[in-house]
Amino acid sequence: MWAIKGLSDNTLSAYRTDLTHLARYLASIGLWLENASQAALLDFIDWRTQQGIAKTSSARQLSSIRRYYRYLVAHQTINEDPSALLDTPKLGKHLPSTLTEQEVERLLAEPQCDDAIECRDAAMLELLYATGLRVSELVSLTLSMLSLRQGLVRVTGKGNKDRLVPLGEMAHQAIERYLQQARAELLKGQSSEVLFPSRRGQMMTRQTFWHRIKHYALRANISSELSPHTLRHAFATHLLNHGADLRVVQLLLGHSSLSTTQIYTHVAQLRLAKLHSEHHPRG
pLDDT digits (tens, 9 = 90+) for 14-58: 889 999 999 999 999 999 999 999 889 988 988 888 887 777 778
- For residue 198, give the nearest of 114, 146, 113, 121 by alpha carbon: 121
Local structure of residue 162 (DSSP, 8 states) = E
Same domain, 147 and 269: yes
Q: Report how far apart, in Å, the C-alpha atoms of 143 and of each of 165, 184, 207 are.
A: 15, 13, 22
Same domain, 107 and 210: yes
Q: How many CB atoms lie within 10 A of CB 203?
A: 17
The residues annotated with a catalytic role in the active site are 134, 158, 229, 232, 255, 264
Is position 88 within any domain?
no
> Sign (positive/negative) of CA torsion 93, 16, 135, 106?
positive
Same domain, 109 and 59: no
Same domain, 160 and 257: yes
Same domain, 124 and 68: no
pTM check: above 0.75: no
Same domain, 47 and 167: no
User: By percentage, how much of the chain surpasses pLDDT 70?
Assistant: 84
Identity of the residue numbered 234: A
Is position 197 within any domain?
yes
Local structure of residue 204 (DSSP, 8 states) = P
Residue 171, pLDDT above cutoff 90: yes
> Sign (positive/negative) of CA torsion 182, 187, 193, 197?
negative
Q: What is the reported pLDDT for 107?
A: 92
Is position 35 within any domain?
yes
Same domain, 39 and 152: no
Predicted confidence (pLDDT) per residue in 172-198, tens digit:
999 999 999 999 999 988 889 999 999
Cβ–Cβ < 8 Å for 88, 62? yes
Contacts of 20 (CB under 8 A, 6+ apart): none
- For residue 268, give the nearest of 242, 250, 249 by alpha carbon: 242
Question: Residue 238 — very low, low, confident or very high, per pLDDT cuts 50/70/90?
Answer: confident
Same domain, 17 and 66: yes
Same domain, 70 and 105: no
**How many domains does one find in the chain?**
2
Which domain-ending residue is among 36, 58, 74?
A: 74
- For residue 179, give the nearest of 147, 215, 150, 154 by alpha carbon: 147
Same domain, 112 and 151: yes
**Residue 214 vs residue 57, higher pLDDT:** 214
The CATH code of the domain that includes 242 is 1.10.443.10
Q: What is the reported pLDDT for 134?
A: 85
Same domain, 196 and 255: yes
Domain ranges, residue 63: 2-74
